[in-house]
A and B are shown apart, each in its own frame.
Chain A
Amino acid sequence: MWARHIESVIAVWMLFSWLIFRYPPELIPLRINDLVCAALILLFSLATYKDRFRYLHLLNFLVGAWLIGWTVYSGTGIDFAPHQNYMVAGLLLLMLSLVPSRTKKPPMAWVEFLSKKKAK
């Protein structure tokens, strides 16, 4: 679950980004985007704890892609801190979202397969 924990930390970071990077007051869309993305990341990461939603963390890949897409579309340079924050958070999310939740153990399907083998 460590990948989900780091995703949650990224969500909290996104939540406070407007304070850390001192967004100018006119950047309301950026603040809203931060808030929505943070909420989605938290939702997708925490919901994964429920077995029924165990693959939901994969949706964080889309949030990461959205953050990168936002920066690319806006066309700002590397000196605009809020968008650099989006790039770094987005790239991390792309990678973390692919990590399975119970990653130390073999996939459930293999565990069940091996248990059946052992029982025979």
Chain B
Amino acid sequence: MEKEDKRRIDVPPKPWDYNPSSWKQRVMIALVAMIAAAIAFYMGLFQWGLIDDVWDPVFGDQSKRVLQSNVSHALSGWFRVPDAILGCMAYLGDIIFALAGSTRRWQYRPWLVLLFGLDVIPLGIVSAVLVFLQATVVGNWCFLCIVTAIISLILVAMAYDEVYSTLVFLYRLWKKTGDKNIVWKAFWGSPSEEAYEVGLSMVKE
């Protein structure tokens, strides 16, 4: 792809002053998610029994009680894998889907951005709910779980702009055409004159 073409697709969509699909934005998300994935993996190693202790500078042994609680065992029973490892996989999913696609994927690959949003946004909410369960059901706190929950909420804040742009793009396309077929094709990354025009109307070139 020519340099000029690259520049043409790396443009901010309204209402943003920056491109939410830019590499800078997405690599930052991947780096933050990587920290959370490493922490979750560390807790998963404890749940697998591969390490004997979990580091917690604030709540001491409470972390172990949380990670070995009935809630945690129930989740492991349902998903057949420790809940911390499941969390780690979700953060790895954030990394995988953050790094996939061009710098105009909000228009060219809406399905990918929405998949990314589905991974990031519910994960943030689930993390917050699990921390809430620590206090109310388990009666103990886990420092690293709280750290990952905060990171999850940061990821939601970092990722929502791109998801918003994609939803606006699809909504405007629907408003313009009223044709389910065109919107469906645009969702899966097929071009059309209408999708091109809607995309053009959204960017500040």
The 8 A CB mask of A72-111 against B (1 = contact, 0 = none) is 1000111100011001100110011011100111110111
Q: Are B108 and A107 in contact (CB under 8 A)?
A: yes
**For A105, what are the chain B residues with a Cβ–Cβ distance below 8 Å?**
1, 102
Stretch of B76-84, B153-161, B162-170 contacting A (4+ beta carbons < 8 Å) = B76-84
| 12 additional A-B residue pairs with CB within 8 Å, beyond A2-B99, A71-B80 | A76-B80, A87-B81, A88-B81, A92-B89, A95-B97, A100-B109, A105-B102, A106-B9, A107-B108, A107-B189, A110-B108, A113-B196
A25, B88: Cα distance in complex, Å = 31
The contact sample of 16 A-B pairs, CB cut-off 8 A, is A78-B47, A78-B48, A84-B48, A87-B85, A88-B81, A88-B89, A99-B96, A100-B100, A103-B102, A105-B102, A106-B9, A106-B104, A109-B191, A110-B189, A113-B191, A114-B5
**For A52, what are the chain B residues with a Cβ–Cβ distance below 8 Å?**
none
* Least CB distance, A103 to chain B, in whole angstroms: 5
Q: Which of A3, A88, A95, A103 lies in contact with B85, CB distance below 8 A?
A: A88
**Interface residue tally of chain A, by bracket?**
20 to 34
A50 at the interface (CB under 8 A from B): no
Tell me the B171-205 residues at the A interface (CB within 8 Å): 189-191, 196
**For A79, what are the chain B residues with a Cβ–Cβ distance below 8 Å?**
48-49
* Least CB distance, B6 to chain A, in whole angstroms: 9
* Least CB distance, A4 to chain B, in whole angstroms: 12
B residues with a Cβ closer than 8 A to A are: 1, 5, 9, 47-49, 76-77, 80-82, 85-86, 89, 92-93, 96-97, 99-102, 104-105, 108-109, 112, 115, 189-191, 196
Q: Quick one: closest B residue to A2, CB to CB?
A: B99
A residues with a Cβ closer than 8 A to B are: 2-3, 68, 71-72, 76-79, 83-84, 87-88, 91-92, 95-96, 98-100, 103-107, 109-111, 113-114, 117
Q: Answer whether A95 and B108 are a contact pair too, CB < 8 Å, given A109-B189, A109-B190.
A: no
Q: Answer whether A103 and B81 are a contact pair too, CB < 8 Å, given A95-B92, A95-B93, A109-B190.
A: no
**For A110, what are the chain B residues with a Cβ–Cβ distance below 8 Å?**
108, 189, 191
* Least CB distance, B123 to chain A, in whole angstroms: 13
A105, B112: Cα distance in complex, Å = 13
A71, B49: Cα distance in complex, Å = 19
A13, B47: Cα distance in complex, Å = 22
* Least CB distance, B113 to chain A, in whole angstroms: 13
**For B101, what are the chain A residues with a Cβ–Cβ distance below 8 Å?**
100, 103-104
* Least CB distance, B186 to chain A, in whole angstroms: 10
Q: Which of A3, A83, A109 lies in contact with B80, CB distance below 8 A?
A: A83
**For B77, what are the chain A residues with a Cβ–Cβ distance below 8 Å?**
77
Q: Are B81 and A84 in contact (CB under 8 A)?
A: yes
Q: Are A3 and B47 in contact (CB under 8 A)?
A: no
**For B49, what are the chain A residues with a Cβ–Cβ distance below 8 Å?**
79
* Least CB distance, B105 to chain A, in whole angstroms: 8
A49, B59: Cα distance in complex, Å = 51
* Least CB distance, A102 to chain B, in whole angstroms: 10
